[in-house]
Amino acid sequence: KAGVTQTPRYLIKTRGQQVTLSCSPISGHRSVSWYQQTPGQGLQFLFEYFSETQRNKGNFPGRFSGRQFSNSRSEMNVSTLELGDSALYLCASTKGGKWATDTQYFGPGTRLTVL
């Protein structure tokens, strides 16, 4: 069974630009979560989508947004990029059942560099 895939794997942008990252969950998984990882802050939760609806949100500014499509694929968007947005962006998928005990499986991440 194919794992979680993320595209692109690497991205270089300049300040002020916007970026869209994509995540395809494991087949049959309906929940997709996004995380940001930086050396200073570690792994931090951005948001989670289930059945095309945002179900949980972390403490990030409104420049960070996401969406989920009917096939469970998800995108996250960062507008007006800042230098501090340089990070590894990870997505994880789970079956997304009624009780949140399913294991989350992570993708390889997208390395975003903002110049």
Partner 1 sequence: DAKTTQPTSMDCAEGRAANLPCNHSTISGNEYVYWYRQIHSQGPQYIIHGLKNNETNEMASLIITEDRKSSTLILPHATLRDTAVYYCIVRGAHQGGSEKLVFGKGTKLTVNP
Contact residues for partner 1, defined by CB under 8 A: 4, 31, 33, 35, 42-45, 48, 50, 55-56, 58, 88, 90, 92, 94, 96-109, 111
Neighbours of 106 (CB within 10 A): 15
Euclidean distance between CA atoms 49 and 37, whole angstroms: 19
- Looking at the Cβ atoms of 45 and 79, the one nearer to partner 1 is 45
Nearest distance from residue 21's CB to partner 1, in Å?
Answer: 13
As a whole number of angstroms, the distance between CA 113 and CA 109 comes to: 13
Q: Do strands 87-94 and 42-50 pair parallel, antiparallel, or not at all (unpaired)?
A: unpaired
Among residues 14 and 56, whose Cβ is nearest to partner 1?
56
Of 66 and 109, nearer to partner 1 (C-beta) is 109
Shortest separation between residue 80's beta carbon and partner 1, angstroms: 25
User: How many CB atoms within 10 Å of residue 100?
Assistant: 13
Nearest distance from residue 82's CB to partner 1, in Å? 21
d(CA 77, CA 110) in angstroms, rounded, equals 12
